[in-house]
Structure 1
Amino acid sequence: MKPVSHTRPVTVIRGRVLLENGLAEDSAVAVAGTEILYAGSENGLDAALAAADLSSEPAVNDIRLARGQLAVPGLVDLHCHGGYGVDFPSADVAAARTALHRMHAAGTTTVLASLVTAAPADLLSGLEMLSGLAAAGDIAGIHLEGPFLAAARCGAQDPRWLRSPDREFAAALIAAGKGYLRTMTYAPELPGADELVDLLTSHSVVPSLGHTAASADDAGASLARAAAGLSTQAGRVPTVTHLFNGMDPIHHRAPGAVTAALRAARAGSAVVELIADNTHLDPFVVASMFELLGAENIVLVTDAMAAAGLADGSYRLGPAEVQVRNGVARLDSGSIAGGTAGMLDLVRNSVAAGVPLESALRSASEVPARVLGKAGQIGSLSVGAAADILLLDADLRLLRVLRRGVWISEA
């Protein structure tokens, strides 16, 4: 491989590191510019630096982690409606950037911004605003949660704007995303859902089954169709939006979409989202899913709304008014209306539930990166990946955040 010329100082982090092959002591990560220059055993660091074309003798910022501390990849959230008082569906660019900076500083170095079901004009304008943020690198793209969802399982989605898929409007949504629409939640039982899946996959948009009352057969067939449509795209597979939430419970004579999603994920042909905030899912369920499906088939997501990172109070989720009490966001109807936890909270909750640390971290970084088609670019500490690194203490509390090679803070 031809050496890359780097002119910026080199940052070296030494100690316990989550490498591609697992957590390892006596390891090192070296960063030059915005990328990772080396990741591996500390014994191989000097040779790697000597072999690199650094233009001149580099200034080295050497960080030695204390006992119990560790370095892990920046976290990747595939489902986030906002936070820190900002609602992405109704925000302007300045407000969204302020919230995103605080998310990055809290350890979520890559964010997929989510829009909820709304009036067509609002969806199109939201896509326009967010596509600009994606072009600037503030977000990794856009997730549309709707509007092609089942009224019977709409949850906090506004039922006024739910509709069956139609090709013309779906194409308009894709066009408004300017190539940055990455995923779309849909209900597979609706008329036109098969055509929607084909349209999405042909534009490299990941279909995400959710807010559905589908039968197991219909859900399974739709996931298989989506997987086939994505089969040429670097191992990408369909996802399942916040598994268990917005779906019929499993019944032994009516297994429903949940059972189909579990079978598809177990087979490696789908990835399921888990909101491990101890509100959307019981910790026992979270641990069970990791045991049954494996971390490689799970992504941890926040489903965060404007209240994330802030105190109880009144907030918005798209067109809806939301009350947050004791950290739980609900509509007046009682429906849960998004999450208030951060990605690092989900990792800690998962570990507390019994999920191995390495598994929880991979489902919060490496696996969502693969869903985005960015394996090896984000979500891992590997040569050539973006220099997104979190330094954590023994209790998995955040110490420092490096994003794209720059140390950041909330200030």
Structure 2
Amino acid sequence: MPTISAPRAVVDGRLTGPVTIAVQDGVIREVRHHHDAPRSAPADVALPDGILTAGLVDIQINGAFGVDFCAADDDGWDRVASALTGTGVTSFQPTYITAPLGALVSGLQTAIEARQRQADTGSARILGVHLEGPFLSPVRHGVHEKRYLAEPTAEAIDRLLNAPGREILTMVTLAPELPGAIDAVHRLTAAGIRVSVGHTDALAAQITAAADAGATLVTHIFNAQRGLAHREPGVPGATMADRRFYCGLIADLHHVAPEICGLIWKGARGRVVLVTDAIAAAGMPPGEYELSGIPVVLSEDGVPRNADGTIAGSALTLDQAVRNMISLGLPVAQVVEAASRVPADALGRHDVGRIAVGARADLVWWSDDFHPRRTWVDGREAQAPATATAVLPAARESFAVSP
């Protein structure tokens, strides 16, 4: 079996090493912890320094690298999936924001075709589609176009559950205070779709009712939702206090201040999911971009905004989110897991986001200052980032396990 060794690795929530990982048919078959003991044999790929981790998992991304998923052609979808590996992302959940329901339904088939086309290419894999809307609060809609907001009626949920391409729908963000929303949560979760509360003016009691019905996430905590107060916990207070919720956090340090990032980390310990909420501007220079047809300007401060100044997604990449959280003094291993294992667990995907026997061989080699150097998807090495430095012996360059 092909093997890869590293002096340090994040395994089971801790920084450990040295470690050797054996891979077969794209799956991790063995994880050997050497500590101070000599290795039994040289690895096929011997990483001389840095840290080896599981591939990152981004469960909220609207686009990147100049591409908006809502308007992308085949080439655009493929370019994003390929380029994401340079940021350490090996799995992602493309996100469509509020639009006419028919357009969102049509987008499911587009994502299915992209996933089929990209299989076994070494690109980041599409886990499923996240619909962030249209069932959102008209008073907390943020950048979403108010004219397309809708209530989660029985007929609307029927349309989603019976849609062609329904099998790729993995997550829906909705406002639980809307008429029919709690019934919608019951029906969606019964169908195996994760429900996240977001863009909501709900009181804490309504958030609890959503959890009782099956909701398990909150979308970009503290943003576009009723805030935290000392007598009314609002959405952030309710979801940090209720251990049934995973808390999605855009850690660009603009959406949420560093001090509040630390508060969320403590308040939702082990349940923080780092997300990008990236739009086409991510990985791009300042300029004009679009988010589902909405003109957006990325300024020099790195924050995309629409014409009235509302923040419109982010220009964040997930590796930068990891660096940002580490810069706050948070534990390296736990931060990495907040961008890998925890988001995978939030989707019920225990085959990705971890270095463990039976998991997909999705791996990232990081420099000591946490910049991705090399990435593998299913044991197949992705195209290296343009800034990567080739430091491995030529004879050990290959870690592809597929023929």
Instruction: Please report the TM-score for the alignment, with normalisation by the length of structure 1.
Output: 0.87
In structure 2, distance between residues paired with 1:80 and 1:179: 19
1:331 paired residue number: 306
More deviation, 205-214/85-94? 85-94
Displacement after TM superposition at 1:135 (Å): 4.4
Distance apart, 1:46 and its partner CA: 7.0
Decide whether the 8 Å contact of 2:289 with 2:298 is kept in 1.
Answer: yes
Count of paired positions: 376
RMSD over equivalenced CA pairs, Å: 1.9
CA deviation digits over 1:284-334, x for unaligned, max 9?
A: 11122112221x211000000001011111111102111110211001111
Structure 2 residue corresponding to 1:169, chosen from 156, 166, 170: 156
Q: Which residue of 2 is the match for residue 259 of structure 1?
A: 237
Please name the residue that 2:146 is paired with.
159
Aligned AA (2:207) = A
Does 2:13 match 1:27?
no
Q: For 2:231 and 2:267, how far apart are their aligned partners in 1? A: 21
Match of 1:203? 191
Instruction: Tell me the CA shift for residue 353 of structure 1.
Output: 1.3
Q: Which residue in 2 is equivalent to 1:213?
A: 201
Q: Given residue 261 of structure 1, which amino acid in structure 2 is its aligned partner? A: T
What stretches of structure 1 of length at least 5 have no aligned partner? 1-8, 50-58, 228-237
Structure 1 range deviating more: 167-176 or 189-198: 167-176
Shift of 1:91: 1.1
Give, in whole Å, the separation in 2 of the partners of 1:45 and 1:317. Answer: 53
Residue 14 of structure 1 deviates from its aligned partner by 2.8
Distance change in 2, residues 1:280/1:12 (3 Å): same
8 Å Cα contact 1:14-1:42 kept in structure 2: no
Counting aligned pairs with the same residue, the percent is: 32
Within 2, Cα distance between the matches of 1:45 and 1:374?
34
Determine whether 1:12 maps to 2:15: no
Indicate yes or no: 2:356 matched with 1:356.
Answer: no
Preserved CA contact (<8 Å) 1:304 1:342: yes
Higher RCO structure (Cα 8 Å, ≥6 apart):
2
Match of 1:150 among 129, 137, 152: 137
Pairwise CA distance, 1:64: 3.3
- Tell me the secondary structure at the aligned position of residue 52 of structure 2: strand
Q: Tell me the distance in 1 between the aligned counterparts of 2:149 and 2:66.
A: 26
Distance 1:126 1:245, change over 3 A: same
1:380 is aligned to 354
State the 1:125 CA deviation.
Answer: 1.8
Q: Which residue does the alignment assign to 1:39?
A: 31
Q: Which has the higher helix share?
A: 1
Distance across 2 between alignment mates of 1:348 and 1:21: 17
Aligned residue type for 2:223:
N
List structure 1 runs of 4+ shifted beyond 4 angstroms.
43-47
- Aligned counterparts, 1:29-108, within 5 A: 29-42=21-34, 61-66=44-49, 69-108=50-89
Measured in 1, the distance between the counterparts of 2:188 and 2:345 equals 17
Q: 3-state DSSP class of the match of 1:155?
A: coil
1:128 corresponding residue in structure 2: 109
User: Which residue of 1 is the match for residue 381 of structure 2?
Assistant: 407
Give yes or no for contact 2:56–2:353 (8 Å, CA) kept in 1.
yes
2:220 pairs with one of 242, 246, 270: 242
Matching of residue 342 in structure 1 with residue 325 in structure 2: no
Q: Where does residue 5 of structure 1 map in the other structure?
A: none
Which residue identity lines up with residue 167 of structure 1 in the other structure?
Answer: A
